[in-house]
Chains A and B, each alone.
Chain A
Amino acid sequence: MNTAPSLQRRLVVRLAALFIAGAAVLAGFLAWRAYDTADSLSDRELSLRAADLARYVTADARLALPETLRKAYADPASSDIFAIRRADGGIVAASPPVFGQIVQHWAPTTEHAAYFRFDGLADARDYYGLGLTVDSLAGPLSIWVARAAGATALVHSFLEEFVFDIAWVIPLFVLLTLAVAVLAIRSTLKPIRDVSRVAASVGPASTSVRLPTANLPAEIVPLVGAVNRALDRLEQGFAVQREFTANAAHELRTPLAIVTAALDGMNPDAELDKLKADVARMNRLVEQLLSVARLDAVALDVSADVDLNEPAKDVIVSLAPWAVAQGRAIGLTAAGRPVMVRGNSFAIADAVRNLVENAVAHSPPGAEVTVAVHEVGRISVTDRGPGVTKEDRGRIFERFWRGADARSPGAGLGLPIVAEIMRAHGGRVTVEDASPGGAVFTLVFSLWPASDGALRPLA
């Protein structure tokens, strides 16, 4: 059987793929948003700085920065530069002053921030900034503020840290989610495994079993319901089969009974004896066909406690007159005590009967067919016939198989019936050479304890 794709594995694989893709998208999005936020944060900061500068412009268009700010801007290492230009083009202030000369040639600003990149200073640093028009005591002013690109590093490093803090949580979260998913799948599938176990017990012997729908996932319930309805139909089919078997038994037996009785009433002669033998053979064939049909269609109830001595004795009592009429003897070696097995006494008797009939048919005149009951839970039937060759041993239990000796009576159904009955008992039938010649068939019963816990077969 090739392995069917496991629902659990498929779900886990797909969920994992989805989570990894999702995590990648999420991390990318977070990073993008973080950088974006960093940018807009620095944009806001620049605007605020422009407004701040405008506040320090006096009515006579001079920049009066507080001492600390002035020093900070004047520091040559400062990353911040600015330039303030009046509407008439005169520079109010600039830091460094050379930036003022540069912006003199730039287009006038508007009230909306205009962004620029700029690397024209002597330090050759890359500046990023904005210019906008801000009202002040001295009227509208054009103010450009910029910051060297590296100066946003702090913001970025802070944001990067934030992104990677989140990012390392994501795989953990994915693993956790997968684990929860696996557990959820498992617990959801458990009722399905239970249903499978119940389904495994369905067979010809137990057609009334129905699969439980309790605790099943709602998606599975329709399937289980459909299977149960299929089982309903099968059970009906089996019922019809049983009915047919019972009717066939009646319908076949009645005409046979008429023929048998009619022949018995005729004046004896040699031809009549042959005819009687033929009818007897047909009777046996019909019995065996019915046995086969019954074993196929109807479950054998093997729940009774049976003392193997009993069916063995019953068969001998019923077959002894026939065996004696054939010129053969028949004997029982009973076990010294009850040999209890769980089974069906009538079916066991049928099995023994088939073996004894074969044994008598294959025994030389005057020989004894011996039925022995063994305390280990076995019944053996020994004959003094030609035995069964090793090549034939595997095949004699197949239906309708007949050995090279096609003269042998029977249709090749007796031993298959025996095998079938033993299978129903959880046992088997074996064949070996008898000593000093002949065959010994043994019914081997499995060692179920008798329900009363009393004597039972030994291992």
Chain B
Amino acid sequence: MRLLLVEDEARIAELVRAALLRDGFVVDVIGLCADAREALATTPYDATILDLGLPDGDGLRLLKELRGTGNSVPVLVLTARDAVEHRVAGLDAGADDYLIKPFAMAELMARIKALLRRPGGALGTTLKAGNVVFDTIGRDVRVGDRGLVLTRREIAILEHLMRRAGRVVPKTLLEDKLYGIDDELESNAIPVHVHHLRRKLADHAATIEIHTVRGVGYLLVDGKP
């Protein structure tokens, strides 16, 4: 899987590249807007990590141009700018995600993988978290080498949580995804499914845990190794 890293700060570029290489990605590092423009025009990258303050121009302009040409490559903006207007501007310009320096490398990796796992993304087929493997095509869940039997809705919940592992998945999002407009939705439907899912995962000695963030949603984390 090939990623483009647009970052002029050599040390950061080196460290991010090393981390991406460790996770099995192929990475091109570019330090200038002009070079990035050319690379994006000629190479079909699976995702791009874009720093905003580049020596020969503004990353946001590059991003707007890119979206203007219809290129929908997932873009994660990485920047030291955090003033609120910059955050908003980044997302308005077509960034898929936004990470502020300094950042935890694990966070960057998780977010890149989340981008790649989006529908149509390059990591679409198999989700992994801890010792749980989720084949999104076969709708098959395994804990270690044992298969896990789940209901349709439990599988759907697990898929969303694993796609956004390490981040909070709002309960409202699960409700929207799991239930059609016409479906009768009981207020405790999602909690009941999550409860069952948790018990089944625990019964199979899964290392992942599903935490409730009361009033907001759920958070799937890789349990202590």
Contacts and interface: CB of A to CB of B under 8 A. Distances in A.
A binds B: yes
Interface of A: 246, 249-250, 253-254, 256-262, 264-265, 279, 283, 294, 313, 316-318, 320-321, 324-325, 329-334, 344, 346-347, 368, 370
24 contacts: A249-B81, A253-B101, A254-B12, A254-B80, A257-B12, A257-B103, A258-B15, A260-B102, A260-B104, A261-B15, A261-B16, A261-B103, A261-B105, A262-B15, A264-B104, A317-B167, A317-B168, A320-B216, A324-B211, A329-B213, A329-B214, A332-B214, A332-B215, A333-B215
Nearest to A268: B225
B18 interface: yes
A131 B211 CA distance: 133
A329 B221 CA distance: 13
Interface string B162-203: 000011101000000000000000000000000000000000
A123 B221 CA distance: 137
Nearest to A300: B84
Given A249-B80, A250-B80, A254-B9, A320 B213 contact: yes
B10 to A, nearest CB: 9
B137 interface: no
A313 B173 CA distance: 14
Given A250-B53, A261-B12, A264-B104, 8 more contacts: A253-B80, A257-B102, A258-B12, A261-B16, A265-B18, A265-B19, A317-B167, A333-B215
B26 to A, nearest CB: 18
B146 interface: no
Contact of B102 (A283, A316, A333): A283
Nearest to A259: B102
Q: How large is the interface on B (under 10, 10 to 19, 20 to 34, 35 or more residues)?
A: 35 or more
A325 B12 contact: no
B213 A330 contact: yes
B105 A334 contact: no
Interface of B: 9, 11-12, 15-16, 18-19, 22, 53, 80-84, 87, 100-106, 166-168, 170, 211-217, 219, 221
A317 B170 contact: yes
Contacts of A260: 102-105
**Interface majority SS on A: helix, strand, loop or mixed?**
helix
Instruction: Sort A-B residue pairs by CB-CB distance and give the 3 closest, nearest first.
Output: A331-B214, A332-B215, A264-B105
B12 A321 contact: no
A206 to B, nearest CB: 19
A81 B217 CA distance: 130
B155 to A, nearest CB: 23
Contacts of B105: 260-261, 264-265
B97 to A, nearest CB: 13
Contacts of A368: 214
A332 B213 CA distance: 8
A320 B168 contact: yes
Contacts of B87: 346
A344 B85 CA distance: 11
B115 to A, nearest CB: 17
A264 B19 contact: yes
A366 to B, nearest CB: 12
Residue from A317, A332, A334 with most neighbouring chain B CB atoms (10 Å):
A317
Contacts of A250: 53, 80-81
Given A249-B80, A253-B80, A324 B106 contact: no
A253 B104 CA distance: 13
A316 B101 contact: no
A434 to B, nearest CB: 16
Given A250-B53, A254-B80, A329 B211 contact: yes
Most buried by A among B15, B16, B100: B15
Given A320-B213, A321-B219, A324-B221, A256 B102 contact: yes
